[in-house]
Structure 1
Amino acid sequence: MTPCDTLADVRSAIDQIDSMLVGLLAERGRYVHEAARFKRNKAEVAAPDRVRQVIDKALNHAREMGAPPEVVEAVYRSMIAAFIELEANQHDRLTKAALADEGTMAG
């Protein structure tokens, strides 16, 4: 962390971090999109055991890095819920495409 002399400096630093976070969310989203290809059903998309594992890991990192665990948990729960919805939609599209392909091959 670079010390700031003004509120503008603080805001500029936060804007830079936000830009990095959005880039990382975009990258995470691409992997979530890929994960949908490997899931057989909606239960595998939701994966509550995996959600708990990811949140636990994030909380451990939060403690190690001095981040407020309640903020990290809230952010992760919100992020994961949004990505689960995104992945479920992608899973639906893939399932419909596969069924359409099967129908085309059968006829």
Structure 2
Amino acid sequence: MAPRKMKQRAYSQLRTATPKNLRAMRFQVKRVKAEMGKVREDQECIREEQIKIRGQCDEIVRQCDQLKEETEMIMKQSGHTHIKLVLMFNILKAREAGNSARAASLTHFLQFVHFYC
């Protein structure tokens, strides 16, 4: 029903109402107002919870981004460490084989890698 028709109907009921009906209508109005107040309070609680949850989600996203950055840094460090270990192993093999030129070259390269990693 359209709002205008509802108002017209309510006014016509008021004009034809008896005192007993008026009391019942007033009671209904009070009950509806009380229910509306409860609904309003519930909606406010829902809004507050939504704001709280939105903040928690933002914090989770921030922590996720930070964790990704830390993971990337660890992966880079792990890669650099792996390269250094391979170079050290090759230096040892070259020294065992008596290839001092290759050992010196790899040692120089290891110092270069160590400086930039």
> TM-score band (shorter)?
0.3 to 0.5
Taking structure 1 as the reference length, what is the TM-score of the superposition? 0.38
Larger Rg: 2
Higher relative contact order (CA 8 A, sep 6+): 1
Taking structure 2 as the reference length, what is the TM-score of the superposition? 0.35
